[in-house]
Amino acid sequence: MKKLRDYTGKSLQDCTILELYNAALELTQDACKDKGYNSGKKKVYYISAEFLIGKLLSNNLINLGIYDEVKAELAEAGKDITDLEEFEYEPSLGNGGLGRLAACFIDSLATLGLPADGVGLAYHCGLFKQSFEDNKQHARPDYWRKWGMANWMRRTDRHYKVQCGDLELVSTMYEIDVTGYGSKCGRLRLFDLDTVNERLIGSGIDFDKEEIEKNLTLFLYPDDSDEAGRMLRVYQEYFMVSNAAQLIIDECVERGSDLHDLADYAAIQINDTHPSLVIPELVRILAEKGIEEEEAYQIVTDVCAYTNHTILAEALETWPKHFFKAVVPHLMPIIKRMNDAVKAKYSDPSVQIIDGNGNVHMAHLDIHYSHSVNGVARLHTEILKNTELNNFYKLYPEKFNNKTNGITFRRWVVECNPELTELISEKIGEGWKTDAKQLEQLLSYAEDPAFLQCIVNRKNTEKKKFADWLYKYQGDKVDPESVYDVQIKRLHEYKRQQLNLLWAIDCYLHIKDGYRPRRPITVFFGAKAAPAYVIAKDIIHAILAFGKIVNNDPDVSPYLKVIMLRNYNVSMAEKLIPASDISEQISLASKEASGTGNMKFMLNGAVTLGTMDGANVEIAELVGEDNIFTFGQSSEEVIERYKRGDYVSKDWYKKNKRLQAAVDFLVSDEMEEAGDKKLLKQLYEELLKQDWFMTFPDFESYCKAKEKALAAYEDRMGWAKKMAVNIAKAGYFSSDRTIEQYNKDIWHLEKDC
């Protein structure tokens, strides 16, 4: 095994951080080459618009089994590996849970020895970088590839032609190695266009949306508030899947496929609807290669499987026919014929691919022409079957299945919480890192005061570390003795950061009235709002303005602080989750497909405060009611209420004085002084006139549940037991388990190990 010293050409002592970093990177890449890649006759291609992979160095060193050696070699030279970790810049290739799930999945695929590629786009700036000015979110481009991170991406000499109307684009494929834990590697294959020009970006994240050759891969989810922006998304999606389809066909032919038997060589997982056009694109290519279109439909159906990640209408993409006529005119006749085939079989207009208004429904295309349709948590899959996609479920009951999400334990505890990892391994050995069920053995220590004291001590150390880091990062001072109450996730009304905010306002008003919480509380928010999502930005604004008031009020701040974290990302989650006490998972029941943050918190000994939504339901079942705090309307009640259409937020406001006071505070003099009157009013009105995600009916039960959690926290040993049970029961949520299930039920790949 080579050492860092072999790559630096001089003593490590004399190296700059950059030189050390590059040496570690080369060492990693060589180690991957030595290990080789999982291979086999059949391979899964996991196509996704996002891969939120996080920093790579430490994760790779851990997976390759050389972290300790590298750390020791650096230490001998008086260097600290954490300086390299801090120096590393996080890739910007994803947005939220969907992309992080894809990243956890490729880790598990590699670890389990399954032949697999992640396939996506090599965005230049990915998701925007968030800053706060005047208590408002500002978006700037995240030039992550400029920061040495691009070195992780190998340029290959694979190029494909992608025809978009009159425009002929030529792609370049890049590769990032995906290390498996103690196994061979996998690959992430990302496509780009050499002509893309970052200089096209003007102020903030504005750019000329018409110049496709120059802008195609600049950003993930470019602003879609106008037609040009929406059209650009279609270009991106088609570029991604046309490359994927050509790659898949080429590779399968190389492995011996005659294309009629493509399903013996490839499985394609369509991650949400962004890659759906791979279906007609494959049909097109197969037909070009001489396969009858009817047969091509069957081949594609046998190859493709679709994962649904949301029931929110806005995320179930539909595109007007004229977009496709402009961007993919050669696919439109195929989509039309595929729709005709559907129409010939099923008369129900609601299941057609192209509706009466000429809109193409991507999910419908996926369901008809995939052999598997899965939801991402049990409740979510049931809602798909019985409500949202019921008309399809009636046609194809055999296609529907559930695959409850998971997370890779290598990143989400081994890497981010080494002290807890060590403690667990001291008690139950190392086996749990690849066989997560073994974590249950910890249950036998759930009554052991010495063990419980240890986990509390470790949590306290993490809290102190986070407080120190936070002060350096954004100048906020928090009390490590306070309860860390944490909500970190994309900003969306259905996730209900506004409910948490209303609670914090209520708490503030009580403190002003003389009430003293038993212990100080720090409420952390971390979230980016899509730049075109006005109310989401208003919620950020309200949190920031309120934070100013609370944190600067000497009567209040010793008891309550409200912190909005700037530019929340994977690296920050890795620091904060190990330090968290309460995990806020408070979406409106039925709306959060699964959630995966909830699993990360649990694994790190935070206790969930949540609604019975998404994977929270399964968490509750596993840990039992003593080890979770649940509240709020049930998904059935919510679905019923939507059906009746009789929710009037003002009625709830009128009958609850506490709620009234909290809501009114949004437009109080104090808030208007700290913030922007217009934006605050906009949020206030939204809540009073609409509140589409039913915050008000859950307010009272949320306050009660939070009060119960805070009271329980004071019984330190009782709380530690809850922590222990949560950690012990987290094994089910390993993405290794999820991937094993995908493979057993959908892909049927052979392991290369």
Cα(565)–Cα(542) distance, integer angstroms: 14
Q: Which amino acid is at 396?
A: Y
Q: Which of 411, 489, 537, 548 is catalytic?
A: 489
Cα(264)–Cα(248) distance, integer angstroms: 12
- Please report how close the Cβ of residue 111 comes to ligand NBG at its closest, in angstroms: 19
| Cα distances (Å, whole numbers) of residue 547 to 94, 369, 630, 649 | 28, 50, 26, 25
Give the H or E element holding residue 164: strand 161-164
Tell which one of 49, 593, 679, 739 touches ligand NBG (CB under 6 A).
593
Cα(59)–Cα(66) distance, integer angstroms: 10
Cα(338)–Cα(39) distance, integer angstroms: 33
Tell which one of 94, 97, 118, 697 touches ligand NBG (CB under 6 A).
97
Closest C-alpha among 153, 248, 186 to residue 37: 186
Supply 442's token pair: 């910890």
Give the nearer residue to ligand NBG in terms of CB position, either 346 or 533.
Answer: 533
Active-site annotation holds for 600? yes
Q: Which of residues 599-618 bind ligand NBG (CB under 6 A)?
A: 614
Closest C-alpha among 232, 238, 191, 180 to residue 93: 191
Active-site annotation holds for 495? yes
Q: Which of 274, 364, 495, 541 is catalytic?
A: 495
Give the nearer residue to ligand NBG in terms of CB position, either 314 or 513.
Answer: 314
Supply 408's token pair: 């890779």
Q: Which of 421, 522, 596, 608 is catalytic?
A: 596
| CB neighbour burial string for 477-516, b if at least 16 within 10 angstroms, e if fewer | ebbbebbbbbbbbbbbbbbbbbbbbbbbbbbbbbbeeeee
The reply to whether 567 sits near ligand NBG by the rule CB under 6 A is: no
**For the chain, how far is it from start to end, CA to CA, in angstroms?**
21
- Please give the backbone phi and psi of residue 114, each rounded to the nearest 5 degrees, phi first: -95, 130
Give the nearer residue to ligand NBG in terms of CB position, either 91 or 99.
Answer: 99
Q: Which of 284, 411, 490, 561 is catalytic?
A: 490
- Please report how close the Cβ of residue 680 comes to ligand NBG at its closest, in angstroms: 27
Cα(169)–Cα(165) distance, integer angstroms: 10
- Please give the backbone phi and psi of residue 741, each rounded to the nearest 5 degrees, phi first: -70, -40
Give the nearer residue to ligand NBG in terms of CB position, either 124 or 309.
Answer: 309
**Residue 291 DSSP one-character state:** -
The reply to whether 594 sits near ligand NBG by the rule CB under 6 A is: yes
Give the nearer residue to ligand NBG in terms of CB position, either 352 or 585.
Answer: 585
Give the H or E element holding residue 610: strand 607-611
The reply to whether 101 sits near ligand NBG by the rule CB under 6 A is: yes
Tell which one of 200, 315, 456, 667 touches ligand NBG (CB under 6 A).
315
Tell which one of 275, 280, 595, 605 touches ligand NBG (CB under 6 A).
595
Cα(176)–Cα(25) distance, integer angstroms: 12
Active-site annotation holds for 489? yes
Find all residues with CB under 8 Å of 284, minimum gap 6, and list them: 330, 331, 334
- Please report how close the Cβ of residue 303 comes to ligand NBG at its closest, in angstroms: 22
Closest C-alpha among 325, 304, 322, 234 to residue 274: 234
The reply to whether 378 sits near ligand NBG by the rule CB under 6 A is: no
Positive or negative: CA dihedral 312, 316, 320, 323 = positive
The reply to whether 493 sits near ligand NBG by the rule CB under 6 A is: no
Closest C-alpha among 517, 500, 504, 490 to residue 609: 500
Choices 109-117, 511-519, 586-594, 680-688 (CB under 6 A): range interacting with ligand NBG:
586-594
Q: With contacts defined by CB under 6 A, how many residues of the chain interact with ligand NBG?
A: 16
Cα(753)–Cα(744) distance, integer angstroms: 17
Tell which one of 145, 309, 371, 459 touches ligand NBG (CB under 6 A).
309
Residue found under tokens 């979110």: 137
Q: Which amino acid is at 546?
A: F
- Would you say 278 and 49 are in contact if contact means Cβ atoms under 8 Å apart? no
Give the nearer residue to ligand NBG in terms of CB position, either 352 or 583.
Answer: 583
- Please report how close the Cβ of residue 684 comes to ligand NBG at its closest, in angstroms: 26
- Please report how close the Cβ of residue 683 comes to ligand NBG at its closest, in angstroms: 22
Tell which one of 15, 52, 93, 98 touches ligand NBG (CB under 6 A).
98
Q: Which amino acid is at 580?
A: S
- Would you say 531 and 128 are in contact if contact means Cβ atoms under 8 Å apart? yes
Tell which one of 117, 592, 698, 736 touches ligand NBG (CB under 6 A).
592
- Please report how close the Cβ of residue 597 comes to ligand NBG at its closest, in angstroms: 8
Active-site annotation holds for 596? yes
Closest C-alpha among 588, 12, 60, 504 to residue 3: 12
Active-site annotation holds for 403? no
The reply to whether 310 sits near ligand NBG by the rule CB under 6 A is: yes
Choices 517-525, 538-546, 587-595, 686-694 (CB under 6 A): range interacting with ligand NBG:
587-595
Give the nearer residue to ligand NBG in terms of CB position, either 187 or 309.
Answer: 309
Choices 309-317, 362-370, 478-486, 694-702 (CB under 6 A): range interacting with ligand NBG:
309-317
Choices 2-10, 339-347, 565-573, 591-599 (CB under 6 A): range interacting with ligand NBG:
591-599
Active-site annotation holds for 179? no
Choices 85-93, 97-105, 127-135, 349-357 (CB under 6 A): range interacting with ligand NBG:
97-105
Q: Which of 43, 55, 184, 309 is catalytic?
A: 309
- Please report how close the Cβ of residue 531 comes to ligand NBG at its closest, in angstroms: 16
| CB neighbour burial string for 269-297, b if at least 16 within 10 angstroms, e if fewer | bbbbbbbbbbbbbbbbbbeeeebeeeebb
The reply to whether 108 sits near ligand NBG by the rule CB under 6 A is: no
Cα(383)–Cα(402) distance, integer angstroms: 11
Look at phi and psi of residue 517 and say left if phi exceeds 0, alpha if psi is from -120 to 50, else beta. beta
Choices 200-208, 240-248, 307-315, 525-533 (CB under 6 A): range interacting with ligand NBG:
307-315
Q: Which of residues 613-642 bind ligand NBG (CB under 6 A)?
A: 614
The reply to whether 272 sits near ligand NBG by the rule CB under 6 A is: yes
Burial of 382 (0-12, 13-18, 19+ CB in 10 A): middle
Radius of gyration of the CA atoms of the chain, in A: 26
Q: Is 375 helix (H, G, I), strand (E, B) or coil?
A: strand
| Cα distances (Å, whole numbers) of residue 504 to 346, 475, 698 | 52, 21, 15
Choices 133-141, 161-169, 427-435, 588-596 (CB under 6 A): range interacting with ligand NBG:
588-596
Give the nearer residue to ligand NBG in terms of CB position, either 120 or 547.
Answer: 120
The reply to whether 96 sits near ligand NBG by the rule CB under 6 A is: yes
Choices 90-98, 411-419, 471-479, 534-542 (CB under 6 A): range interacting with ligand NBG:
90-98
The residue nearest ligand NBG at its CB is: 97
- Please report how close the Cβ of residue 740 comes to ligand NBG at its closest, in angstroms: 17
- Please report how close the Cβ of residue 460 comes to ligand NBG at its closest, in angstroms: 30
Give the nearer residue to ligand NBG in terms of CB position, either 334 or 599.
Answer: 599
Residue found under tokens 């040009």: 228
Give the nearer residue to ligand NBG in terms of CB position, either 560 or 588.
Answer: 588
Cα(683)–Cα(664) distance, integer angstroms: 11
- Please report how close the Cβ of residue 643 comes to ligand NBG at its closest, in angstroms: 22
- Please report how close the Cβ of residue 52 comes to ligand NBG at its closest, in angstroms: 10
Tell which one of 38, 63, 236, 405 touches ligand NBG (CB under 6 A).
405
Query: What residues make contact with ligand NBG under the rule CB under 6 A?
Result: 96-98, 101, 272, 309-310, 315, 376, 405, 592-596, 614
Q: Which residues are catalytic?
A: 309, 489-490, 495, 596, 600
